[in-house]
């Protein structure tokens, strides 16, 4: 199985290099790793110990952010290295002030793992949610460097719990401690003989619960909304956008703010075909007062604003539910905004919870979206949903405090 794993790593990298000239994200994945070790050797002081945080992408960074913030606040002398697997995380957070150095994770080979750890000289490694790399974990174990997994969550259909999943169970057993999002994950780990796990919760709650308190006003959005009821659609994909176009054609009194997952010019032009009269945020200063007043749709063609946009919404639509899976629902829920999304939500505990509590709705087509939207026009129903969503977030904060207590008690920091 080890040979198959190594072959898979090799083939994956080769395929990305093959398609890189024709695929923007693949190109970033490949180019971001060129000369990486030379850059590390020039920029990182190997004589110093570092805390290494690794994230798959942007969503996982948000889960680790609160822990990094607490470490930097309480122990400013600690040096932090951050790595990303995906360009969508690295490109947005490569300049984060929370880290002393940010880079891509070199491919998971035995040689890369040894060389990378030689350079960063970790005193502690913290991974998030579901990134499990055999060679990196093996090398950390060999060096007796503690490895923590935070916001971990498991499902019965994962390879770890299959009869033929022995190799992958072996990777899990290299982790020093798991901080899980739910008790089911603790029980599943015990079922395969792993007892070094405890419930902490999802660290994302600790960040999103502060968003309403630290909300940044956006003058252009306030001018566009102008006191009208607004639907904020975040991280949308083409399938979502077609549903939204059909909905808004029947809701002339509502405004729509749409922040697509992909903001390259080709996708923005596709959106402008769906919404010909839409305004672009990047061009907002060029529009007349009359154009702004008459516009129903505002396209957000930048990155990093979404968590502030939900403040302006009465209802939120979260994209991804007709593709690989929905995006972040918590950033909307924390503002007390009812949430709507597609049917690919089962792997996201917070979405399942919000549905059960009445703070969210799942829809499968345009007619279902219209029906839910109409139901939420009732003030009593919308107020109940808003309160359910807000309470769900506010009552689940605290994971970061549990993790920090462990780090301090075990003398892993400071």
- Per the CB < 8 A criterion, the answer to whether 232 and 310 are in contact is yes
Nearest to 212 by CA among 330, 300, 96: 330
Indicate the pairing of strand 230-236 with strand 177-180.
unpaired
Residue 78 designated active-site: no
- Per the CB < 8 A criterion, the answer to whether 205 and 222 are in contact is no
Separation CA 172–CA 192 (nearest Å): 10
Tokens coding 234: 């975040």
- Number of other CB atoms surrounding residue 214 within 10 Å: 8
Nearest to 400 by CA among 147, 131, 74: 74
User: In Å, how far from its chain's centre is CA 358?
Assistant: 23
H-assigned helices in 213-365: 219-225, 238-248, 265-274, 289-294, 306-309, 330-333, 349-357
DSSP 3-state of 241: helix
Separation CA 399–CA 115 (nearest Å): 33
DSSP 3-state of 169: helix
> 């703010």: which residue's tokens?
257
Output DSSP code: residue 309.
H
Give every CB contact of residue 413 below 8 A, 6+ residues apart in sequence. 51, 71, 75, 78, 124, 407
Q: One of 60, 62, 131, 350 is an active-site residue; which one? A: 60
Exposure string over 237-267, b if 16+ CB within 10 A, otherwise e: bbebbebbbebbeebeebbbbbbbbbeeeeb
Nearest to 403 by CA among 59, 151, 61, 84: 151
- Strand ranges of the sheet holding 50-55, from the earlier edge strand across to the other edge: 101-104, 80-84, 50-55, 122-128, 146-152, 177-180, 197-199
Please give the positions annotated as active site. 60
């Amino acid at each position: 199985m080890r040979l198959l794993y190594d072959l898979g790593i090799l083939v994956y990298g080769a395929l990305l290099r093959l398609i890189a000239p024709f695929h923007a994200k693949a190109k970033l994945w490949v180019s971001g790793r060129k000369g990486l070790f030379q850059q590390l050797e020039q920029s990182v002081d190997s004589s110093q110990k570092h805390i290494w945080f690794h994230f798959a992408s942007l969503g996982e960074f948000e889960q680790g952010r609160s822990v990094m913030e607490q470490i930097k606040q309480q122990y400013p002398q600690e040096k932090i290295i951050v790595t990303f697997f995906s360009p969508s995380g690295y490109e947005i957070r490569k300049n984060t002030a929370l880290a002393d150095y940010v880079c891509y994770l070199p491919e998971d080979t035995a040689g890369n793992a040894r060389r990378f750890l030689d350079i960063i000289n970790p005193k502690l490694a913290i991974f998030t949610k579901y990134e499990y790399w055999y060679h990196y974990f093996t090398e950390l174990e060999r060096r007796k460097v503690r490895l923590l997994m935070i916001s971990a969550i498991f499902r019965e259909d994962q390879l770890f719990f299959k009869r033929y999943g022995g190799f992958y169970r072996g990777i899990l057993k290299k982790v020093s401690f798991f901080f899980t999002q739910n008790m089911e994950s603790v029980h599943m780990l015990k079922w395969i003989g792993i007892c070094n796990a405890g419930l902490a919760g999802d660290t994302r709650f600790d960040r999103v619960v502060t968003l309403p308190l630290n909300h940044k006003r956006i003058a252009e959005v306030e001018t566009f909304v102008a006191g009208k009821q607004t639907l904020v659609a975040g991280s949308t994909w083409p399938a979502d956008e077609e549903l939204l176009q059909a909905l808004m054609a029947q809701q002339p009194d509502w405004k729509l703010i749409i922040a697509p997952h992909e903001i390259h010019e080709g996708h923005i032009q596709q959106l402008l075909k769906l919404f010909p009269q839409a305004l672009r945020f990047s061009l907002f200063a060029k529009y007349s007062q009359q154009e702004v007043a008459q516009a129903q749709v505002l396209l957000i063609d930048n990155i990093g604003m979404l968590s502030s946009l939900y403040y302006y919404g009465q209802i939120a639509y979260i994209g991804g539910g007709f593709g690989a899976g929905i995006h972040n629902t918590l950033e909307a829920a924390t503002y007390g905004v009812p949430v709507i999304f597609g049917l690919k939500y089962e792997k996201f505990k917070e979405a399942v919870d919000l549905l059960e509590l009445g703070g969210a709705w799942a829809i499968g087509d345009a007619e279902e979206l219209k029906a839910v939207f109409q139901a939420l026009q009732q003030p009593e129903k919308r107020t109940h949903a808003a309160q359910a969503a807000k309470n769900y977030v506010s009552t689940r904060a605290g994971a970061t405090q549990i993790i920090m207590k462990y780090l301090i008690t075990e003398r892993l920091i400071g």
